[in-house]
Amino acid sequence: AQTVTQSQPEMSVQEAETVTLSCTYDTSESDYYLFWYKQPPSRQMILVIRQEAYKQQNATENRFSVNFQKAAKSFSLKISDSQLGDAAMYFCAYRPTYSGAGSYQLTFGKGTKLSVIP
Amino acid sequence: DSGVTQTPKHLITATGQRVTLRCSPRSGDLSVYWYQQSLDQGLQFLIQYYNGEERAKGNILERFSAQQFPDLHSELNLSSLELGDSALYFCASTKDPTGASSAGYTFGSGTRLTVV
């Protein structure tokens, strides 16, 4: 079974600084997707960024970028120029590209709570 | 607004009772996933429906059941409720059963269930 581990339950960053959230995963698949979701106090789950395992280039979305290390099964999220609105729970998630069982649910890590200090 | 609607937003009920949570997927999406988010277990997959049919089951208790109706909305039924069922219940929708055609899964804002 696939597992996703986020080893940092809480982190903090000064406004305008850069922070990196860690995520490791375990899978025997070679094709899969990895995601970072943001959950602010409003509790809405918001997709931040997505990475396809067959793509070597790291995904980037404005101030958010990932460092995808397939061999190490590592998928970290870097937030640059942190803003107060970035304060939230961040979840790393995995799903296989192909599933013999026909289901493509996400497997989530337990999350990292990010605080942004003004 | 994500386009996925969950009702009610909050629900408080007593142990032993039964509740129904409702999810309307984003327009055009055929697949609905239910997740339970609790403090100790994180986000756990419960069940998936695609176009009215059950596709997969995760860690769903026998006291829980779900269905997806012809208009594609889905209901999650929780019965014989226990204190430990208190959690945030999310649904997410995708256009196809794989989710590959979308940028990910679109989540609703969840139903906060409190069992007292």
**CB distance A43–B58 less than 8 Å?**
no
Residue A118 CA to residue B5 CA, distance in Å, equals 34
Q: Nearest CA of chain B to the CA of A72: how many Å?
A: 24
Q: Give the confidence band of B11 by pLDDT, cuts at 50, 70, 90.
A: very high
Q: Give the confidence band of B69 by pLDDT, cuts at 50, 70, 90.
A: very high
The predicted structure's pLDDT at residue B95? 79
Q: Nearest CA of chain A to the CA of B43: how many Å?
A: 6
Q: Which has the minimum average pLDDT: A15-19, B72-76, B100-104?
A: B100-104
Q: Nearest CA of chain B to the CA of A74: how many Å?
A: 19
Q: Which DSSP string corresponds to B67-95?
A: EE-TTS-EEEEE-S--GGG-EEEEEEEES
The predicted structure's pLDDT at residue A104? 77
- Report whether B95 contacts B29 (CB < 8 A): yes
The predicted structure's pLDDT at residue A31? 86
Q: Please report, in tens digits, the pLDDT of each residue of chain A (118 residues total).
A: 689 999 999 999 999 999 999 999 999 888 889 999 999 988 889 999 999 888 888 999 999 999 999 999 999 999 999 999 999 999 999 988 876 666 678 899 999 999 999 9
The predicted structure's pLDDT at residue B99? 56
**CB distance A42–B109 less than 8 Å?**
yes
Q: Which residues make Cβ contacts (< 8 Å) with residue A107, sequence separation at least 6?
A: A2, A3, A4, A93, A94, A95, B45
Q: Examine the pLDDT at B107 and tell me if it is beyond 60.
A: yes
Give the pLDDT mean for B17-42: 92
DSSP 8-class letter at A112: E
What are A22's two structure tokens? 């860690």
Give the B window 20-39 contacts with A, CB below 8 Å: 33, 35
The predicted structure's pLDDT at residue B97? 64
Within an 8 Å CB–CB cutoff, is residue B95 touching chain A? Answer: no
Please write the tens of the pLDDT for every residue from B37-63: 998 778 999 999 999 999 889 989 999
Residue type, position B2, single letter: S
- Report whether B69 contacts B76 (CB < 8 A): no
